[in-house]
């Protein structure tokens, strides 16, 4: 008990005058410093990547090669190159293909054998009917010899009968023998004709196994290989019909759909200028060969066929083409003017007293000075500054400058 009385409990008192801990204050300072760092980084990214400027929505045009004739055309239409003379070549017979002598791109002549079916059975049959013909010819010779002998005997018996040297029975027997011999000659002659008909029929069957080119042309596709079974219509399971498709390249025309509302502007014989998407720098002259006298109900268009005046080997079936239908007075321009670089007139603007266009470079634009040439309808010739294929801004605003980010209208 005495120990408890003397125990010092003063250390349990709270000293209210002691200094407070520094940890809460330090924590607040760290939060403030972190916030400042984040703001600085965000500001740096903001200005580094230009996120502060919204992209301008613009409309774009294309720098292209064009001519005065194209820009002053009555109408333009798109279509495809189509061979007007084209055939899927097949055999009229059925059999296994044992020979195919052409591939895609090969040129063929009318009547050229381009494929052959197995025909050993038909050749054997042809040999048999030819042998029958030889047998029939031999039979005819025998029948003729018999008829000559029967005729000579009949003449002798006739003379003797007139002299009453033989009986009536002997005379009638000689006469009957002669008539049988004459009938045998007629029968042998008919057998020859029958054998010849069999030969012709077998030769036709043999010809069915030979696949020939129907006209001069170029092989477009190869649809069968050696060893496959060929049937006239490909009706049998696992069989092929046509072995190749052939087109007459001299019959190539552009088939373009023209809207019903514009068809009255198109006349047969009307001059045209044709450009291919594959070779935009090349122009081909042509004329309207046919306006098909019916409309497509679904598309509200009329099919127009345009024939080439001049064509080279680069023009191929199924290529996409653009046709400019020209007025008669545009023919001189069509023949004499070379393609020129042009842009839509609305793409030209003036900055600091100089004619410029804004060329799209990725997601931004670049101000480019240009030298103007002649006006070409709603386009203007550019003699320097841009190249075909580049995209330019139409109707550029006053706030557009080099480096401005742009986006196109959706």
Is residue 338 predicted with pLDDT exceeding 60? yes
Q: In this predicted structure, what is the pLDDT of residue 38?
A: 74
Question: Is residue 47 domain-resident?
Answer: no
Q: In this predicted structure, what is the pLDDT of residue 53?
A: 54
Q: Which residues, 6+ apart, have CB-to-CB distance to 147 below 8 Å?
A: 178, 181, 182, 184, 185
| Cα→Cα distances 192→133, 145, 202, Å | 6, 17, 15
Question: Is residue 229 domain-resident?
Answer: yes
Of 156, 182, 208, which one is at a domain's C-terminal end?
208
Residues 128, 200, single domain; the answer is yes
Here the CATH number for the domain that contains residue 397 is 2.40.420.20
| Averaged pLDDT, 209-236 | 85
Question: Is residue 16 domain-resident?
Answer: no
Here the CATH number for the domain that contains residue 314 is 2.40.30.170
Of 326, 355, 373, which one is at a domain's C-terminal end?
326
Report the candidate in 139, 125, 142, 124 with the shortest Cα–Cα distance to residue 191: 139
φ, ψ for residue 169 (rounded to 5)?
A: -65, -40
pLDDT in tens, 148-162: 999 999 899 888 988
Provide the residue count of the chain: 410
| Cα→Cα distances 282→73, 170, 335, Å | 17, 98, 13
Q: In this predicted structure, what is the pLDDT of residue 72?
A: 64
Query: Is the pTM value of this prediction over 0.85?
Result: no
Question: Is residue 29 domain-resident?
Answer: no
d(CA 168, CA 205): 55
pLDDT in tens, 22-47: 555 666 667 777 766 676 665 555 44
Residues 345, 377, single domain; the answer is yes
Q: In this predicted structure, what is the pLDDT of residue 256?
A: 95
d(CA 71, CA 69): 6
Residues 169, 203, single domain; the answer is yes
Here the CATH number for the domain that contains residue 127 is 1.10.287.470
| Averaged pLDDT, 114-139 | 92
d(CA 396, CA 346): 8
Confidence band for 17, pLDDT divided at 50, 70 and 90? low
- The answer to whether 274 touches 79, Cβ cutoff 8 Å, is no
Report the candidate in 338, 335, 342 with the shortest Cα–Cα distance to residue 271: 335
Question: Is residue 276 domain-resident?
Answer: yes
Question: Is residue 36 domain-resident?
Answer: no
Q: In this predicted structure, what is the pLDDT of residue 79?
A: 95
What one-character-per-residue DSSP string does 65-85 give?
A: EE-HHHHT-SEEEEEEEEESS
Confidence band for 1, pLDDT divided at 50, 70 and 90? very low
Confidence band for 327, pLDDT divided at 50, 70 and 90? confident
- The answer to whether 357 touches 370, Cβ cutoff 8 Å, is yes
Q: In this predicted structure, what is the pLDDT of residue 42?
A: 59
Residues 315, 263, single domain; the answer is yes
Residues 358, 226, single domain; the answer is no
Structure token pair of residue 390? 């580049």
Residues 378, 305, single domain; the answer is no
Is residue 52 predicted with pLDDT exceeding 60? no
| Averaged pLDDT, 269-280 | 89
Is residue 138 predicted with pLDDT exceeding 70? yes
What are the residues facing 86 on neighbouring strands? 247
| Cα→Cα distances 387→68, 287, 324, 396, Å | 18, 31, 23, 19
Question: Is residue 63 domain-resident?
Answer: yes
Residues 178, 316, single domain; the answer is no
Confidence band for 50, pLDDT divided at 50, 70 and 90? very low
Is residue 190 predicted with pLDDT exceeding 60? yes
Residues 162, 283, single domain; the answer is no
Residues 174, 219, single domain; the answer is no
Confidence band for 282, pLDDT divided at 50, 70 and 90? confident
SS3 170: helix
d(CA 174, CA 295): 83
pLDDT in tens, 108-121: 999 999 999 999 99
| Averaged pLDDT, 141-147 | 91
Question: Is residue 131 domain-resident?
Answer: yes
Q: Which residues, 6+ apart, have CB-to-CB distance to 13 below 8 Å?
A: none
Is residue 330 predicted with pLDDT exceeding 60? no
Structure token pair of residue 284? 């081909």
Question: Above pLDDT 70, what percent of the chain?
Answer: 81
pLDDT in tens, 342-372: 888 899 999 988 999 999 988 899 999 999 9
* 3-state secondary structure labels for all residues of 11-25: HHCCCCCCCCCCHHH
| Averaged pLDDT, 181-186 | 92
Here the CATH number for the domain that contains residue 237 is 2.40.50.100
- The answer to whether 358 touches 368, Cβ cutoff 8 Å, is yes
d(CA 116, CA 98): 6
Lowest mean pLDDT among 29-43, 103-117, 170-184, 195-209: 29-43
Is residue 240 predicted with pLDDT exceeding 80? no
d(CA 132, CA 140): 12
Residues 243, 292, single domain; the answer is no
Query: Total structural domains in the chain?
Result: 4
User: Which residues constitute the domain of residue 196?
Assistant: 120-208
Structure token pair of residue 39? 């703001």
The number of beta carbons lying within 10 Å of the beta carbon of residue 148 is: 13
């Amino acid at each position: 008990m005495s120990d408890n009385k003397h125990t010092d409990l003063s250390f349990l008192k709270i000293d209210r005058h002691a200094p407070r801990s520094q940890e809460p204050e330090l924590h607040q300072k760290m939060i403030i410093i972190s916030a400042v760092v984040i703001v600085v980084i965000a500001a740096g990214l903001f200005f580094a990547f230009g996120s502060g400027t919204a992209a301008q929505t613009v409309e774009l045009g294309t720098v292209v090669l064009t001519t005065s004739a194209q820009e002053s055309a009555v109408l333009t239409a798109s279509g495809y190159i189509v061979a007007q003379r084209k055939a899927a070549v097949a055999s009229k017979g059925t059999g296994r293909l044992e020979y195919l002598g052409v591939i895609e791109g090969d040129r063929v002549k009318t009547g050229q054998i381009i494929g052959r079916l197995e025909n050993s059975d038909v050749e054997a049959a042809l040999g048999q009917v030819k042998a029958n013909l030889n047998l029939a010819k031999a039979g005819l010779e025998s029948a003729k010899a018999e008829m000559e002998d029967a005729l000579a005997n009949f003449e002798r018996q006739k003379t003797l009968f007139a002299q009453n040297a033989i009986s009536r029975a002997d005379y009638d027997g000689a006469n009957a023998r002669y008539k049988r011999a004459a009938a045998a000659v007629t029968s042998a002659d008919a057998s020859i004709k029958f054998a010849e008909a069999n030969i012709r029929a077998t030769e036709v069957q043999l010809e069915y196994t030979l696949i020939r080119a129907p006209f001069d042309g170029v092989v477009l596709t190869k649809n069968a290989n050696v060893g496959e079974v060929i049937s006239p219509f490909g009706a049998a399971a696992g069989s092929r019909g046509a072995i190749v498709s052939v087109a007459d390249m001299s019959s190539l025309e552009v088939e373009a759909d023209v809207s019903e509302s514009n068809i009255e502007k198109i006349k047969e014989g009307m001059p045209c200028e044709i450009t291919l998407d594959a070779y935009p720098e090349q122009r081909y002259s042509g004329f309207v060969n046919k306006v098909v006298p019916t409309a497509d109900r679904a598309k509200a268009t009329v099919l127009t066929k345009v024939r080439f005046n001049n064509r080279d080997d680069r023009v191929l079936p199924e290529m996409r083409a653009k046709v400019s239908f020209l007025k008669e007075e545009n023919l001189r321009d069509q023949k004499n003017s070379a393609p020129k670089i042009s842009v839509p007139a609305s793409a030209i603007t003036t900055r600091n007293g100089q004619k410029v266009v804004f060329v799209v470079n990725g997601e931004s634009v670049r101000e480019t000075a240009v030298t103007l040439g002649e006006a070409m309808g709603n386009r203007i010739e550019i003699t320097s500054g841009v190249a075909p294929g580049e995209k330019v801004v139409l109707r550029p605003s006053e706030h557009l400058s080099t480096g401005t980010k742009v986006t196109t209208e959706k």
